[in-house]
Amino acid sequence: AFLILVLAGIGVGAVSALSAIWKNFVIFLGLLLAPLIITLSLDGTYLSVAMAGMTLLLMVLLMGISRNFNQSIDKTLTMRYRYQEAKERLRVSEEQFATIFEEALTGIFYYNLDMKIVECNDYFARIMKAPQKKLIGLDMNTLNDKRVIPAVRAVFNGEKGEYTGAYHTKISQIDKWIVMRTAPIFGKNRKIVGGVGIIEDITRQKHAQEQIRYQAFHDVLTGLPNRILLTDRLSQVLARSEEHTLNSSHVAISY
């Protein structure tokens, strides 16, 4: 009985030590208890056979416990491995996103439901001619130029917004031509938590277009209006004159 208790205790201790590799536990338990079971069975007495049966039952029970323990270990390790994989993918994605966010050659900013800017990249600060520290936390409700507000607010209705035109900056107090597009940011249960804005500075392109238009209608040396401008203005006057004459004819006919 003392030997059975000692060997059973060793078998129970082996459950936690060897169950990570279940085959090792089965081999160890078989080598530990099988000789005892055989010896008791061959003794032939009722008590010995009963003790052999109880030892065999203990052996089967320990194998079942060990199997469950092994499956729990496998699930834990698998979940941990998947968690580490997901964590690594998330880290890589965050690094890639941060690189794109900071290195993008366009202004990007995020704002919350209170229309306060919570994050912006360096290019956005360059477009606005203001430090990032002053732009982050800026309440867009206080903007002097309200022309961009409808595009900013559009995201709160789950829509995309867009504005193209002139803009007077709040901090640096300069005039620019911009193209701004906004889109909603969704959180849990597709609930809108804020918006993202993308801004392009088209001031140079606008000035270049105006310069090309000016050169097309003015003499390069003198700056005086040229024949093309004269023809264009005459065409407009003639068109208005014809429209006025046609309207007058309709009025006369009605009388």
Q: Which helix (H) or strand (E) holds 26?
A: helix 22-43
Please compute the mean of the pLDDT values over residues 149-173 and round it to a whole number: 93
Res. 50: pLDDT tops 60: yes
Res. 232: pLDDT tops 90: no
pLDDT score of 86: 84
Helices (H), 111-226: 122-128, 132-135, 149-153, 203-217
pLDDT score of 255: 45
pLDDT score of 253: 47
Asked which of 30-34, 65-69, 172-176, 239-243 is least confident by mean pLDDT, the reply is 239-243
- pLDDT band at 155, cuts 50/70/90? very high
8 A C-beta contact, residue 176 and residue 166: yes
Please compute the mean of the pLDDT values over residues 89-117 and round it to a whole number: 85
- pLDDT band at 254, cuts 50/70/90? very low
Please compute the mean of the pLDDT values over residues 8-30 and round it to a whole number: 87
- pLDDT band at 177, cuts 50/70/90? very high
Please compute the mean of the pLDDT values over residues 218-243 and round it to a whole number: 67
Please compute the mean of the pLDDT values over residues 124-152 and round it to a whole number: 93
Res. 152: pLDDT tops 90: yes
Buried b (16+ CB within 10 A) or exposed e, 192-226: eebbebebbbbbeeeeeeeeeeeeeeeeeeeeeee
Q: Which has the higher per-residue pLDDT, 239 or 244?
A: 239
Most trustworthy range by pLDDT among 149-153, 221-225, 249-253: 149-153
Which long-range contacts (C-beta less than 8 Å, at least 24 apart) are formed by 17-25? 18/66, 19/66, 19/67, 19/69, 19/70, 19/73, 20/70, 20/73, 21/70, 22/66, 22/67, 22/70, 25/63, 25/66, 25/70
pLDDT score of 215: 66
Res. 227: pLDDT tops 80: no
Instruction: Provide the 8-state DSSP code for 139.
Output: B
Please compute the mean of the pLDDT values over residues 176-187 and round it to a whole number: 93
pLDDT score of 226: 62
- pLDDT tens, residue by residue, 56-72: 998 899 999 899 988 98
- pLDDT tens, residue by residue, 24-45: 889 998 898 899 889 888 887 8
Res. 207: pLDDT tops 90: no
Buried b (16+ CB within 10 A) or exposed e, 81-119: eeeeeeeeeeeeeeeeeeeeeeeeeebbbbbeeebbbee
Res. 150: pLDDT tops 90: yes
Mean pLDDT score across all residues of the chain: 84
